[in-house]
Each structure stands twice: as structure tokens, then as C-alpha cells.
Structure 1
Amino acid sequence: MAARRDRGHAAFDVGRGLAPADLPAPHAGGVTSGRFASAAPVPSAGRPPPRRAVAARPRSDNGNAACGFARSSRPVRTPAVRARGGWTVEDDAYDIDAVLQQALDRLALLADVGAALAATLDVREALRRVSRLVVHQLGDWCAIDLLDSDGTLERIAVTHRDAGPPAAGPLEGPLPVPADLASGPVARVLRGAGPLLLHRGDFPPAHADLFPARPLELFRQLDADTAIVAPLRARPDILGAITIGRTSGDRPLTDADCALVEDLARRVALAVDNARLHRETSRIAERLQRSLLPNLSGPAIPQRAARYTPSQATAEVGGDWYDSFPLPHGHITMIIGDVAGHDLRATVTMGQLRNMLRGIALDREEPPGHILNRLDVAHHQLYPDVTATCVYGVLKGNEDGPWELHYSNAGHPPPLLVTHDGDTHFLEEGHGPLLGALPDLPRDSAHRALPAGSTLVLYTDGLIERRGEPVHRGMTRLRRQAAAVAQEPLEEFCDELLTHLGSEATDDVAVLATRLPG
């Protein structure tokens, strides 16, 4: 059917015997049956929904030609027609296939937006991807503004269908704080209004808008004919606004597009809100974790240095930790460990495990294997469902040497010894199961003489492990890099390890190193 707005034209329910003669001439061609083959409710494209809508598919010699039209629920008042159960036509007729395709396109856009939001933890990059999707599937240009937690406003993205005219770039960036009494569309939306459908004549004067000239540049330089401004609303908060515009007057944005943009804005806002909550939780956990990692106390000799970096891939903290402190007899502990998990619980457990080990080590001098045995029993009693790894070592010696390391390893990657000349050796003796696995199993201790001028490196698995490759490759990389920087000052030595090995880490990384005199 072609579009028609005739009021009073009669159409009939399924099975009521609508004949071709009942249709206006433009709509009767090719209809060989006097009945509709099917009928179902359909939305009214681009208009407020009628009280009743019917889709009809008449039989045709050339196959089924789908069409639809809207009906009110008011019967026709003409007696002859009323007797046949007719209804007045209140709105246009539609091509049902086109309506269904439009609905599928809109669902596809929402699905693509969801995928873009889930593909990255970077909020800015996610919003730029969303804006690119919008201009390819809905509007000719799109702008997204975000309010920060401190109330500042920033235009994150302005994207144009034609890859962005020269005027679009300068429109991005920080914006002045919205005025309380500003009456422009963005200002109103940031106060909770919207979504707002704007036509060219609705664009506000300069003095009424939010900040006063740059948003007008957005509408005018990008030559908007119609635009929709919708709030990014999550829970009770307004996080920003999304503005979508079309420059073509023959396909303006409509009320139906408003509903789509509102749904899209809700999804964007939820993703932004979740990202901010995740980021804040991670910051709290990282601050807690760093507060539990000690300043290295004790004598200046031997030199010691430590590093910790959270995972860049997951933006979460875990249970990596290190410690080093003097014992009553003057020896120096060298400790590193990793509690399983990447959450606040792992961080808290790490702190408690570290404190327990400090108490056990300071209680009395014992072989390292016995120290880890006592720690394992206590750990299993308090945290029976949590596993952890740990290397507990004790440096013994004096400034003039010799030095040796007494140690025990509970399921942790082996320490690396690097001589002054760059020879490397992994210390694999004294290895036992991780903490929490077999708490009653006796643990071995080992000892190793340390050459003068050598460097001892303790590290967590994030430094050597990469997804999809065997761990021995990471250990080989560590040996080569440590050998290459063996004569660098200790602080630079640690920095070089993190720069060359930690930049691709998918896990937290902790490093504890000591440089012996000589």
C-alpha cells in the first residue's frame, strides 16, 4: 500500500471479506483474494502509537506483498460499513518488510554498541567507538559529553559520517561547568530532561545555551537539520549527554528515533557507571595493597630494591607481595609471595599472610623450611580454601663477605642469581608444594653461596608468564635481560626488568632484588 491519510476509509478484520473494490484503486492492483492472509500488531513508524495497529498480508499472483496500516478502535459510523464490522483508518499504510528491517537494524545497532562497550576497559576509547557506530547507522554526526565526579564537563568525542569536517576536532575537550539557569538543550538534559528532539528552528540562541558558543558551533558548523539530545542516566545520576544529528532534511530524526537513542544512552551510561565503579574499587584495592608493601628496613648493606605494578590487562590488583626485614641476630630476610586471586579478598589475605610470617620468623630462629611449615599450618587453619606461593630466604654474611642464602620455596618461581659478569642461575633446590595444599608435609631447606657483587632476584609469575606460551620461555627472557643489565646500579636494574618484561604482563608483578658488595 502507498501511504494514505484518508479518514473514513474502511478496512476490515481478518476473515471479514475485504474485497479489492473496498480498497482505493492504487492499493487494489494484484490482489486476487478478498481476504487478508494474516494480521498482527505492528509499531507505528515515526509517530505516536495509535490505539490499535494491524499488519495485513494480502494474497497476490506474484507472491505475498506485505503491507500494514494503523486503525483506531472507533467503529465506522456509516451504517452500511458498521454492519460489516469496519474500522476507520487513522494513520498511514506501511511496507511491513521495511518496518521489520528497520527494527532489525536498530537491534543490530544496540548489539554493536554493547559489543563496543564491552571490548575495552578504556571509557574514552569505548565512547569513541560508540560514536563511530552511531554515525554509520543512525545519524550524520554524534557528540558525547561526560561529567566527571568533580563536576567538570568534557566533550569526549565528536564524530561525523564523512570522517569529521575540520570544524569537528576543536569541539572536543573540556567544557565550562553548566550554568544552573542555562536553557540550552545540553544544559537541560544534564539537569535530567530529555531525550529532546530538536529541529533547526528549535536550536537556542547563543545566550541561552550551556557554554555559550561551542555547542552552537556543534549544531551550526555541522549543519544540523534535526538532533536528539539524551541524558546518560545511571541509577539516579546524570553522567553526561549524547547528541545525535542529521543534516539531511528529507530524512529527519523522529520520535521513534528518540526511543532508540534513549535506549542507547541508557546502555552507554550503565557501561560508564560500571567502569567508574570498577576503577574506584581497583584504586582502593591498589592503595590497600601498596600500604601493605613495606619500606625496606634494616642495614644499607646489602643493597635492596623492590618494585610492584598491578596488572595492565585486567586493571585489577591481586595478592602479589614482598617483604624484607632484619632478624634479631642481624640476618636479613628476603621474602616474596603470591596469594591466588585478583580481588580485594586476595589483597587482604596477602596482608594477613605477610604479618603471620613476620611473627613466625621473629619468634625464633629456625631453618627456612620449618618457618614455612609453621606458616602453612596457620594459613590452612585460617584460610582453608585459599592457596598461596612463597619464597622465604635469609641472607647471612657481613660487609666483607662471604654471603650465603638459606631458603625454602613453597610453589613459587625459583629465585634468580646473577653474577657481576652476567652469568645466571635459577635456585631450584628447597622446592615444595604451595601453601594450603599439604600443610602437614615437611618442607626442605636449601642454601647457596653468593659471589661478591652478584644480584639476587625474587619475582612473581607475572614477570615471566604470558598467555598461550610455556613458562620456560619467560624464564629464558628473564635470564637474558638480567644478564644484559647485570652491572647496572640496582635501582636501574629493577627498572630495566620491568620495562622490558613487565610491559606485556597480564598479571601483577612484584620484584625484590639485593646486590651484594664486592
Structure 2
Amino acid sequence: MIGGADRDVLTDPLRLRSVRRIVGGPLPDDAFDRVAMLVRTLVDAPMGAVCLVDAERQVLAGQAGVPDPLASAREMPLTHSFSRHVVAAGAMQIISDVRTDPRMRDNPAIHEVGAIAYAGAPITDPDGLVVGTLCAIDQEPRVWTPSEIALLSELAEVCSSEVCLRIARAAAEEDRRAAEDARRAAEDARRAAEDARRAAESAHHQLELLAQLTESLAATMDVDEAMRRLCRIATAALADWCVVAVAEGPAGSARVAVADGPAGSARVTAAHRDPARAGDMERLTATATGSRADLRAMMLAVRRAGRTVRTSNGDADLRSRISDADLAAITARAGFGASMIVPIVSPVRRRPLGALLLVKRPEREAFTASEEWTAAEIGRRAGLAVENSRLYREQRHMAEVLQRSLLTELPAIPGIELHARYLPAQDGAAVGGDWYDAFAQPDGSVMVAVGDVSGHDIEAAAGMGQLRNLVRGDAYGRNDEPGELLTALDQALFGLRVGASATMVLARVRRSRAGYTVGFANAGHPPPLLLLPDGSVEVWWVQPEPLLGLLPYEPRTTTQRHVPPGSTLVLYTDGLVEDREQLIDDGIARLSAVLGDAAGRPTDDLCNHLLAAAPRRSDDIALLLIHLT
């Protein structure tokens, strides 16, 4: 049931006219579908939608991830609409669990599409009336982060720009049809329509530019690459050349704008529309980071002021403030006409992060108010890219610290050399479930292990830590064979409800009269390799046994092998042998060949040689070498 006040807002004639001008019916719309897909991808939500709300229904002008039949129908009654509450309130609505909200808890969409968490930002027409929402929907309770809310708000402004463009076009078309009623009125309407067309084309160009920039910056988490992309887009659309500066904070993070003191270190990137000026731009970049960086000081002043500084073509004030001779010569060759310096501001923390200098050649016209607005939007989107990069680097650093803290410091054992490596996957998270371990037993034997918990995230690393500690705690001080220890580990994982499945090789190394005896058990893991003193390589294939962490398995077996002194036992995870274009057996054969060719190398150097021969990594790698002297 819609209350009286809400009904008045929903049935406002001016608002409904804007809605009708935007969309004629429940039809697919490529532009809004792309924005909905951006929401789904960047916010990491199951569903993203661009919703337009009239008096009786809600139209899905754009959608990504919405299930059928709603995705095909593209419309729903207002009883199923969360977005009508945004329209009625005239403000963003952020709901972690709609089932706890008195306004939304009876909405049928909760059961029909599994909508639980909702975040909706208003889309407005040129008069500021809310015609719909850009929303993200999750199928479980969720606390929306400030960066997700800021991103949703930014993309809603992009939708609002598109809405204004469509309304302007519709209004121009209405004026054109009305002008046909009379010859004089038709001429007046034609001129008005032409003006509206030019304004619409300008607005459309700006929308395309900002959408291209947003998509390009969202595709990288590297600040330097993001700034290079920004420069390329800015010089192609607005200026002849540009300089962007973002300051470095502690540990390489972009924390503030161009640094206030001489100790500050700024990331500076410059680009020119003319490829022949690439060398000048490289020298400008080097000069702008030097001790006499005049441009850097000017951009710092803009950062402090927090607003755009625009100069006309004939204004020589900015050029006159360049005292560095090399910099003055470079800017003169580049062409120093009309200019703008725009602050780069974080949309999350509302703090300036840097500045963007845009310059036209002297023969070109000055920057317009529309171009200034576009430049300011570029600064805002650049700020969002810098913030995303900063958060990504911080999270990746924490993940790497966690991973390193969970790996074992190898013990020093007389007669046995231990060397290990861990490398995260080249793509994706920097933390995973691969690990290695080695420790001496009171009876003089040595336990060694390599394993791989399923997954490549914090949960996998946590599961790895639990599993490693269970192995250590259960095995230390016991004389059981590895098969018996893994059987007990199976029971512990099942009984303690440790939600982790893993592959693993566990081995016990004992000295014997003629060398060493190695007993090992293999739970679904790639086979160990043994490099013999004569350079030959043995692959220790055994009958496959299931992964750890599944239902209780019958007693596991232990395989005993005699190993002569001077041999090197190699334990590894599948990231060292996996290749998407090969079977894993081919990868193991390749690794065996590399190992044999490297016979005679020092053990530590052998580790590096094996890693260098690995294929492009899509998985983590843990490697443990046990050289038996």
C-alpha cells in the first residue's frame, strides 16, 4: 500500500513527463545495460539495475544478473519495487537487509528474486526530479562499503547525464513537431531544435568521454597505468597536452596530492596529442619531479585551493611563473595556450589527492564552461581510481603478510639441507592455501610436507594454517608412519568439522645404514621427485588416494623408498606443473627433465631454476627441496 505523500511524489506530472520522455516501454537499452553491468562488476553484486519509476509500474531500462521472467519482461508493478522508496525520499537508500525494514520487508521481490540487500542511488532529470534509480542488489545481508556507495553515486550521475540527454532530445523533437503548425513558429522551432541538437551532441560527447574514462580506469589497479590512460583520453578529447601528478605516501601508497615539502615524492605523468612530442613529455615528467618543479608548485596551489583554475588564451600569468629554463623550453615547444588545472579529489574521503594540468596550443580557443565541468568530472573519476588502487595495494599487502606469517621457517638439521620457495599466483589474490613444512622429531627423523588447500583467498590461507597446525600437533613426538598420521588427520578434520579439503604429501626421513629411508603418504597430490647423485630422476608414482577433508577414508598407505646419500627429494604443489594446454602428467614429465638437466647445481640455485621453468602461473606454488648428504 502506497501512502498519500509517496503517491503525490510518484504521480507528479512533471516527473512522469520526464519518465515518458526517457523510455517508451519495457525494452532493452544497451547504454543502461552497460551501466548495470558496470555496477554488477565493480560493486561485485549479483544484480545491477537501472530502474525508471512511473505512477503504476517500474521499468528495468538496464539490468545485469536479474533472473527471468523479470529480466525478459523488463517491468514490474510498484508492489515489487524497492526503488520507489528512493523516488519518494528523493535520496539514496542503503539497506543491509530489506527484511528488517518496515517499508520493504513485505516486498514480493524478496522471495521471487532473492533480493536481500539493496543500495539505490537516485537518477534525476534536468529539474532535479527523481525519475528512477541505479541500484545494486545482493541475495544475502550485506554491509555496503563507503567506496561501493561512492561508486554507485558516481555511476548514477552518469545515468542522470544520459537521462538529461534523452530528455533534451525528446524536448527538441516535441518543439520541432509543434513548430510545424505555423510557418513562422516552425522556423523558430527549427532554430531552437538546432541549438538543442548541438547541446545534446556536446552532452553526449561528454557522456561518452566520461564513460570511456570510467571504464578504462576501472580496468587497472596500478596508479601509473591509470594516470597514463587518463592522459591519453584527456589529450584525445580536451587538450593538446597534459600533466597529472599524484603524490606518493608511505610505502608507495598514493596518500595526498603533490607533496607539501621537499621530502614528498609525486607520481607525475605527461602526454601530448602529437606523438612527435613524446620525448619532450618524458623530459617534462623528469623535470616536474625535480627540485625546481614549477608546474608541481602550481598544481600544489590548486590542490590546496580545492577548485579548478582556468586561464584564457591570452593570459600569460601561468607561463610567467615557470622559471626553470628546461621546463620553459619544453612547454614552449609543446604549445602553451589556454590552460586548466583541476584538483584530483577522493570521492570517498573528500580529500585532494593530486592535480591535472590541461593545456591547449595557442591557436586554439579557450576552454569553455562545459569543458571545465568535464575536466572536473575527470578529476573526480581519477580520484576514485587512485582510491581503488590504494585500497587494493593495502589489501594485497596485508594478504601477503598473512601468507608469509603462516609459512614455516625451515630448521637447521645436520646432514640435511632444506630449501623452500612460495610464489603467489600471477593473477588474482596474493594469498592462498599452498604451504610447506619441515620439523625434526625427537627420535632423529625429519618430517617434511607440502600441501594445497582448495582456494586462493583468505579462507584458504586460514584453512591452511589450521591444517598445518593439526599435522604438526598430531605428528610431533610420535613414531607413526605418514599413512597412519594422515588417517588420524582425516578423522580429526571430519570430527572437528574443519571445512577444508586439501591435497598433501607427508614424508618421514630416517637415516639408515646405507643412506636414508623415506616413508611417504600421498593424499591426491602430485608425486614427489627424487634427483639421484648420477643425475637420473625418479617419479614416485603411487596408487591414488583421496584428498584430505572428505568423508572418513579407509586407512591410508605408506610407501617406503631407499634413498642414497647425495640425493635431493623434491616436493611441490601443482602450480609448478599445471599448464592449461597440457595434461598434468606432461607437466610432471617436463619438471623431471628440467630437474635432471640441473643436476649438480647448489640446492638453493636449483630452487630458483625449477621456478624459472614453471609455466605462466595461474595458481600458487610451494616448493620444498630436501638434499640428503
The normalised TM-score by structure 2 is: 0.63
| Correspondence for 2:222 | 122
Shift of 1:158: 0.7
What SS class does the counterpart of residue 273 from structure 1 fall into? Answer: helix
Shift of 1:94: 4.5
What does 1:259-408 correspond to in 2, within 5 Å?
259-314=373-428, 316-382=430-496, 384-398=498-512, 401-408=514-521
2:606, 2:296 → 1: CA distance?
59
2:426, 2:553 → 1: CA distance?
37
Q: Is the CA contact 1:200–1:226 (under 8 Å) kept in the aligned structure 2?
A: yes
Shift of 1:163: 1.4
What SS class does the counterpart of residue 311 from structure 2 fall into? Answer: strand
**1:344-392 deviations in whole A, cap 9, x for unaligned?**
3322332232222111111422121221222233334555433222211
Shift of 1:405: 1.6
What does 1:165-180 correspond to in 2, within 5 Å?
165=277, 166-173=279-286, 175=289
2:455, 2:292 → 1: CA distance?
43
1:101, 1:336 → 2: CA distance?
62
**1:260-302 deviations in whole A, cap 9, x for unaligned?**
2222222222222222222122222212222222222142312
Q: Percent identity?
A: 34
Task: Flag the 1:136–1:206 CA change in 2: closer, same or farther, 3 A.
Answer: closer
Q: Is the CA contact 1:298–1:325 (under 8 Å) kept in the aligned structure 2?
A: no
**Aligned with 1:423 (options 519, 536, 557):** 536
Q: Is the CA contact 2:532–2:567 (under 8 Å) kept in the aligned structure 1?
A: yes
| Correspondence for 1:49 | none
Moved more, 492-501 or 268-277: 268-277
| Correspondence for 1:485 | 598
Alignment of 1:222 with 2:334, yes or no, is: yes
2:365, 2:564 → 1: CA distance?
79
2:188, 2:241 → 1: CA distance?
33
Alignment of 1:57 with 2:170, yes or no, is: no
Shift of 1:341: 2.4
**1:6-31 deviations in whole A, cap 9, x for unaligned?**
xxxxxxxxxxxxxxxxxxxxxxxxxx
Shift of 1:259: 2.0
Gaps of 5+ in 1: 1-39, 46-51, 71-92
Which residue identity lines up with residue 386 of structure 1 in the other structure?
A: A
Moved more, 505-514 or 463-472: 463-472
**Aligned with 1:243 (options 357, 363, 384):** 357
Higher relative contact order, structure no. (Cα contacts within 8 Å, ≥ 6 residues apart):
1
| Correspondence for 1:501 | 614
Which residue identity lines up with residue 269 of structure 1 in the other structure?
A: G
What SS class does the counterpart of residue 413 from structure 2 fall into? Answer: coil
1:448, 1:306 → 2: CA distance?
22
**Aligned with 1:142 (options 219, 242, 249):** 242
1:41, 1:57 → 2: CA distance?
20
**Aligned with 1:106 (options 201, 206, 218):** 206
Q: Is the CA contact 1:392–1:407 (under 8 Å) kept in the aligned structure 2?
A: yes
| Correspondence for 1:471 | 584
1:381, 1:256 → 2: CA distance?
67
Shift of 1:162: 0.4
What SS class does the counterpart of residue 280 from structure 2 fall into? Answer: coil
| Correspondence for 2:74 | none
1:66, 1:314 → 2: CA distance?
59
1:140, 1:438 → 2: CA distance?
67
More helix, by proportion: 2
**Aligned with 1:459 (options 558, 572, 588):** 572
**1:403-444 deviations in whole A, cap 9, x for unaligned?**
222111222222122223333332232642222222444322
Q: Is the CA contact 1:430–1:446 (under 8 Å) kept in the aligned structure 2?
A: no
1:316, 1:375 → 2: CA distance?
27
2:245, 2:446 → 1: CA distance?
55
Q: Is the CA contact 1:66–1:96 (under 8 Å) kept in the aligned structure 2?
A: no
2:600, 2:188 → 1: CA distance?
80
The normalised TM-score by structure 1 is: 0.75
What SS class does the counterpart of residue 501 from structure 1 fall into? Answer: coil
2:230, 2:362 → 1: CA distance?
21
Shift of 1:193: 1.0
What SS class does the counterpart of residue 527 from structure 2 fall into? Answer: coil
Shift of 1:212: 7.2
**Aligned with 1:162 (options 274, 282, 286):** 274
More strand, by proportion: 1
Q: Is the CA contact 1:337–1:412 (under 8 Å) kept in the aligned structure 2?
A: yes
2:445, 2:188 → 1: CA distance?
88
1:42, 1:273 → 2: CA distance?
32
